[in-house]
Structure 1
Amino acid sequence: MSGNNNIVSGAIVLMIGVVIELVLSFASKLVIARYIGRPDYGVVSLGISLLTMGGLVSMLGMNVGIARYLPRIESKAGKKGVLRSGLELSLLSSVILSSSIIIISNSFFQHAIHGELKQVLNICAIGIPLLVLMKMTIGGIQGTQKAVPKALIQNIVLPLTRFLLIGVALLFGLGSIGIASSYVVSYGIAAGVGLYFLWSLTPIFARQISFSSYRKKLFIFSAPLLVTSTMMALLIDIDTFLLGYYWSPNQVADYNIVYPLATLLQAPLMAFGFVFMPVISKLHSNNKYEKLKETYLDTSKWIMLVTLPLFLVLVSYPNLIITNTFGGKYLAGSPALIILSIGFYSNSVLGPNGNLVISIGDTKYIMISNLLATILNLILNVILIPIYNIEGAAIATTSSYVALNLLYSYKIFTDYRITSLTNQTILFQLFSIIIFIAISRWVTEPTVSGMLINLAVFSPLYGALMLNTNMLGRKEITIMKELYSRVELYVVNLL
């Protein structure tokens, strides 16, 4: 299959995995939020934010580095060198950071307002090396351009074990400490599965193959990504920490209910982006710039087509979605859900621009862009959160993501004259929004049944609009037919 077909094929596999992950992760958060109450959920959210932030920082950008280098190296010795070097550097960094956090936590949180805060932070700190190990194995798998193992590790094994362990923790009344432990252990299990796939797909553990260190090359490439990952960690989690500082765990809980709902909009971008980066990196190394441009535009279009309906639902029915999932006690987060949805939709609709800038090797620009976006986010959070609570955090996050994507889009437009915002895509989105609003206002009531009727009426009209505006053309139909044939063959062989 061609590069574009491979991207769609891999992305569909990952989308299935992402849907499974989202369902399981959503169920986990739903159970936690309903059964341990707002203050405990806020404490758990702070611990998870520490875990994810620590993991992003201590990876040093090595997971991206090995994903970029592996497709460009033919020899087994070279591939082993890249993998071993990346793992050694990132794991050492994660152990140092984990130990430092535990020492600081024991010193500064002796008399925390919430009794279990110190223990939760310590447990999550222990999980940082396990999270890093899992992410690094996924980076290595990404470099082999295999989609199924990644989907199995991150989208099935991790959320499934986490969900089961959370259930056990709640069953035995272990509270926030048990839930934090569930997250840590699930990362350990997923990391073990990731190591198995690295062993089977790469020569990382082949003793008979000698290898040279790639530490210097990886570090030179990934050093800007270290700053980038630190900035991205702050961009993602600083609002949670500041809400806990200025307000209370209750506000942290409200915000961490709506934030995951809004990030659903990034699922198509994540799925396509995982397969997109190694493909585009290879095209760039072979100087196939026209094919690179075509691949980027097609991928951006497909991401937008999948994301738009979900965006319309989130911004049109925030109260319904929150009430019928996490419960009415979290309805204060409805305005923040609308604001965050706008931010994450803009992040998706502009396409995998960050993946493209990384693929062409301009990590310095990535670093500067993330630094500027994080500074903007920090300033806006400090100004807005004390005044507007979680709405202020949502405005800060949305503004930062929009600014970051505009910087990425400016880079690829000035260097390659590529933009995902064509007249065709802008008009398509405008007409889709008008149709959805018209149906929701004149055909249905703002109830669950009304929302389902709205979607039932909108879906065929959305499909017809795609065909009539050539958003779904011969290329897409050909790819879908080929994918259908492959899935059919797979099912027949399975049976």
Structure 2
Amino acid sequence: MSEASQALQRIARGTGIIFTGTVISMFFGFLSRAVIARYFSTAEYGVFNLALTVLNIALVIATLGFQNALPREVAFYKEREPSRVRDLISTALVIVAVNSLIWTVILFLEAGNISQVFKDARLVHALRIIVFALPFWALIVVMISISRGLGRVREQVYFQNIVYPTVFLVLIVVGAFLKFSFTFVFVAYVVGWSLTFLALAFNVWKIELLKFRPQLNLEIGKKLTLFSIPLMFSGILNFLMTWTDTLMLGYYKSSEVVGIYNAAAPLARLIPIFLASTSVLYVPIASRLYAQEKLKELGRTYQILTKWTFLLTLPLFSMMFLFPEAVIYFLFGAKYVSAAPALQILALGFMFHTFLGLNGLSLVVIGQPKLNMIGDTFAVISNVLLNVLLIPEYGIVGAAIATAVSYFVANVFRSLWLYQRTKIHPFSWNYVKPLVISFVLLGLIQSLHLRVPSIWYAIPVLAVFLGVYFFLVLLSRSVDKEDVELFLAIEKKLGVDLKIIKKILRRFV
């Protein structure tokens, strides 16, 4: 078995667990948003999203990009300087703890000025409550990033994906049932993250996962910060690419428009769910391959992983792209259906991000985080300019176009630079064939202009589409030997004998 196949199997084993946790997190997250959207007005739902946007940007600054750097750095230190791993962990936690407290104070004091930008006085009160979640959230993110670098996924799945969403959902449902005021939403947010932090800290202490003394190693801290700063700016730029539409809709339009748009935006962000799941273990595993100078194996791992991610993502994308009205009506109700065109456009942008694979994280793996930052800068500039030009006239549709274009620009830059530095790209012939088949079938169905009254009518149509699609993929012989090896490993892991599927594969491989 090739080293690429072994790497893929290790990633696949962890991805299954991560995906399950991510689905639970997304499901509970959407339930929480649905309760808030239905129980409160669209304007209040808009204020909630604006406050969350500000806090997300603050999180990236407070963590200094460590959440993206530590999985790579811990894996490298473990490979080359294992004796310094403890100092790395301690230094990272101390820096983030201090920095997050500083930014909590800054945001609390500047809440009034921030709210004036969006011309909504209600945002002041919201920010001055929700900002207290920042230190807890920042430390959770860093602790989980360290555990990822050690090759573990348990902490992310249990605490970030299950404990926090469950606690927040329970609090929101209780608040809605007891008819608490809108302020309770933000109190629940802080309580949710603080309880999650306490649970994670107790677990880490109990199993002695992160053995360290509270100390600051200046040498390690300097190296880590210099490597992470471009990632911090990339993180800010990524949030701007994702949230500039929300921020500028709040500036040009109203909180009500922001609320309507944010029925579509969170749905579209579901599309990279498989990509995000594979990324958790991809970074430490790919980092080890790169450290051993095995670029060929790294490239093959990248290609097969990208193809699997695309195939797994296609059903979700197809549902949102082909039947946006039915999806929004089912999840958020009739008053948000006007966001359907925006969902369709955003789905295209996030799917383009998915089908090129983990290009940005691969640049981090090869030690080129600055290239991510440069590409993201061009993307954000195009995003802001397009939002300025399109939102005043086209509203949420203009905002969706701006975001989709920014993702296109960012991913083109990342992929070009990755290929230039390493010759790594996702386009094997057995990946191009499924891409062409999907484009043709989606175009044919879209040209029929099907009008489905509900999601229950859309599901059978989608099932037929996917059945035809996967049959054509097999007929085109788009299955690689690594695909078969990965399938057999999954079969063994599940402890079942998938005779029918293996019989079908033998006919087409």
- TM-score normalized with structure 1 length: 0.92
The CA deviation at 1:340 is 0.5
Q: Which of the numbers 32, 56, 62 marks the counterpart of 1:52?
A: 56
Instruction: Supply the AA of the counterpart residue of 2:472.
Output: L
1:218 is matched by which residue type in structure 2?
A: L
Range 422-431 or range 442-451, more displaced = 442-451
Letter in 1 for 2:489: E
Asked if 2 retains the 8 angstrom alpha-carbon contact of 1:141 and 1:149, the reply is yes
Would you say 1:466 and 2:470 are equivalent positions?
no
Which one of the candidate residues 144, 149, 158 is aligned to 1:152? 158
Greater Cα offset, 420-429 or 84-93: 420-429
Give CA deviations for 1:98-156 in whole Å, capped at 9, x if unaligned: 21111111467599965632111111222122221111111111101112321122221
Q: Distance in 2 between matches of 1:258 and 1:372?
A: 25
Indicate the residue corresponding to 1:486 in structure 2.
493
Distance of 2:136 and 2:152 partners within structure 1: 22
Matches within 5 A, 1:213-252: 214-252=220-258
Of 347, 350, 353, which aligns to 1:347? 353
Taking a change above 3 Å as real, the CA distance of residues 82 and 258 of structure 1, as seen in their structure-2 partners, is same
Give the corresponding residue for 1:413.
419
2:332 counterpart residue number: 326
2:135 corresponds to: 129
Instruction: Check whether the contact 1:166–1:179 (CA below 8 A) recurs between aligned residues.
Output: yes
Q: Is 397-406 or 449-458 further displaced after alignment?
A: 449-458
The equivalent of 1:435 in structure 2 is 441
The answer on whether the counterparts of 2:271 and 2:317 sit within 8 Å (CA) in structure 1 is: yes
Q: Tell me the distance in 2 between the aligned counterparts of 1:121 and 1:175.
A: 16
> What is the aligned partner in structure 2 of residue 477 from structure 1?
484
CA distance in 1, matches of 2:213, 2:93: 17
Deviations 1:406-458 (A, max 9, x none): 00000111122222134443331232343356568779762433312112323
Rounded Cα–Cα distance in structure 2 between residues aligned with 1:165 and 1:12:
29
2:301 to 268, 282, 295: 295
Q: Structure 2: any 5+ residue segments left out of the alignment? A: 497-509
- Distance of aligned partners of 1:415 and 1:355 in 2 relative to their CA distance in 1, 3 Å threshold: same
Kept in 2, the 8 Å contact 1:63–1:86? The answer is no
Q: 1:202 to 1:225 in 2, by over 3 A?
A: farther
Aligned pair 1:4/2:8, yes or no?
yes
1:393 equivalenced with 2:390 (yes/no): no
Query: What's the secondary structure of 2:59's corresponding residue?
Result: helix
Structure 1 residues 175 and 46, CA gap change in structure 2 (3 angstroms): farther
Tell me which residue corresponds to 1:163.
169
SS at match of 2:41: helix
**Cα distance change of structure 1 residues 337 and 109 upon mapping to structure 2, 3 Å threshold:** closer
Q: Distance in 2 between matches of 1:455 and 1:108?
A: 44
Q: SS of the residue aligned with 1:240? A: helix
Counterparts of 1:68-217 in structure 2 under 5 Å? Answer: 68-74=72-78, 77-106=83-112, 116-199=122-205, 204-206=210-212, 214-217=220-223
CA separation in 2, counterparts of 1:176 and 1:257?
A: 19
Task: Count how many residue pairs are aligned between Structure 1 and Structure 2.
Answer: 489
For 1:42, the aligned partner's letter is: G
Gaps of 5+ in 1: 490-495
Distance 2:382 2:449 in 1: 42
Q: CA deviation at 1:205?
A: 3.7
Opposite residue 65 of structure 1, the aligned amino acid is A
Of the candidates 22, 32, 35, which is equivalent to residue 39 of structure 2? 35
* Deviation string, structure 1 residues 363-398 (Cα, Å, up to 9, x no partner): 111221222222221222222222211111111111
Contact 2:24 2:162 in 1 (8 A): yes
Distance 2:213 2:120 in 1: 50
Confirm or deny: 8 A CA contact 2:172 2:188 kept in the other structure. Answer: yes
User: CA 1:341 to 1:107, structure 2 compared with 1: closer, same or farther past 3 Å?
Assistant: closer
Please name the residue that 2:362 is paired with.
Answer: 356
Query: In the superposition, relative to structure 1, how do residues 112 and 438 fare at CA in structure 2: closer, same or farther (>3 Å)?
Result: closer
- Matched residue type, 2:488: K
CA distance in 1, matches of 2:262, 2:213: 46
Query: Aligned match of 2:461 in 454, 460, 471?
Result: 454
The answer (yes or no) to whether the contact 1:61–1:223 under 8 Å persists in 2 is: yes
CA distance 1:280–1:426, change in 2 (3 Å): same
Structure 1 counterpart SS, 2:452: coil
CA offsets per residue over residues 173-197 of structure 1, 9 Å max, x none?
A: 2333111222222222232333345
Distance (whole Å) between structure 2 residues aligned to residue 207 and residue 61 of structure 1: 22
The amino acid across from 2:105 in the alignment is: S
1:253 to 2:259 alignment: yes
Distance 1:112 1:177, change over 3 A: farther
**Residue 361 of structure 1 aligns to a residue in which SS?**
coil
Contact 1:67 1:143 in 2 (8 A): yes
Alignment CA distance shift 1:32-1:471 (3 Å): farther
Partner secondary structure for residue 255 of structure 1: helix
Aligned partners of 1:111 and 1:144: how far apart in 2? 42
